[in-house]
Amino acid sequence: MELIVARTAGFCMGVRRAVEMTLEAVDTCRKPICTFGPLIHNPQVLNLLSQKGVAVIETVPPRGHGTVLLRAHGVPPTVKAALARAGFRVVDATCPRVIKVQTIIRRHAAEGYGTIIVGDRNHPEVVGLLGYAGACGHVVGSLEELAALPRFSRAIVVAQTTQNTAFYQGIKSWVGCHCPHYHVFDTICDSTEKRQSEVKQLAEAADAVVVVGGHNSGNTNRLAEIARQAGKPTQQVETEHELDFGALAEARTIAVSAGASTPEWMIRRVIQVLAELGPEDG
């Protein structure tokens, strides 16, 4: 049995930056240390941060003290301001790629443009982006939802940074045909594009695919979705304990990819367990 490991597997720049900022805050910032919402979508990393004393808050308290880090996905601007008013020292760990989208939305919303965000309505990144759009923001998760929106005299279209690239291409084509006056921005981050392209190529070359990452991670879910669309048996696991060995028994080649919030040590654990199948299955 042969293992092919994606070169793009593991932390992206934004996740690595957020984790490093949080670990640095533990050593240098005023305590207690907390994050607003889970810093990233990976239970193992969140458990590690918890062991270091980093708590998670989901709402803004009337009064706060210590340091709060904004999650990598970003938050609405009203939340950031409210945290500062409550008394926290606010450290912004938002991914720079997300900040770029926030800036695009804020600038155009101030000029009266409508904002159409292509993404998962309940995903924290999208919730944060919507906060920059004001009353003229709309979220769509399908072509049908996009077509159902009223036609705006001026509007921009942006994507959640971890959106499926093929799906967004379809959105762009529809806009070009039906609303060519809309301004469409390519806001899917390059890391996402590379991961999705690579997992598609690996899935086509392998007998089965294993994608490692949090079950609530949007970008990890999309990698598994793309692998399944290639017609190959695909397992999405958070840890090596979730592997279904029976489903992999006939595979001669297994491709392994991982989401942008999956730590290297968790990927290595899964690879090690899969490698131990080699002599028995090969």
pLDDT at position 157 over 50:
yes
CATH number for the domain formed by residue range(s) 2-11+190-281: 3.40.1010.20
d(CA 207, CA 97): 34
Mean pLDDT for the stretch of residues 247-252: 91
d(CA 126, CA 74): 9
pLDDT tens-digit map of 4-53:
999 999 999 999 999 999 999 999 999 999 999 999 999 999 999 999 99
Q: How confident is the model at residue 281 (pLDDT cuts 50, 70, 90)?
A: very low
d(CA 177, CA 243): 45
CATH 3.40.1010.20 spans which residues of the chain? 2-11+190-281, 97-184
Q: What CATH class has 13-95?
A: alpha beta
d(CA 189, CA 184): 15
Locate 227 and state its tokens: 């692998």
Catalytic residue among 2, 20, 24, 125: 125
pLDDT tens-digit map of 166-204:
999 999 999 999 999 999 999 999 999 999 999 999 999
Per-residue model confidence (pLDDT) at position 101: 98
Per-residue model confidence (pLDDT) at position 195: 96
Per-residue model confidence (pLDDT) at position 278: 63
Q: What CATH class has 97-184?
A: alpha beta
Q: Residue 56's CB: how many other CB atoms inside 10 A? A: 14
Q: Model-level pTM?
A: 0.91
pLDDT tens-digit map of 115-145:
999 999 999 999 999 999 999 999 999 999 9
Per-residue model confidence (pLDDT) at position 40: 96
Per-residue model confidence (pLDDT) at position 1: 83
pLDDT tens-digit map of 49-99:
999 999 999 999 999 999 999 999 999 999 999 999 999 999 999 999 999
CATH 3.40.50.11270 spans which residues of the chain? 13-95
Look up 125 and say whether it is catalytic.
yes
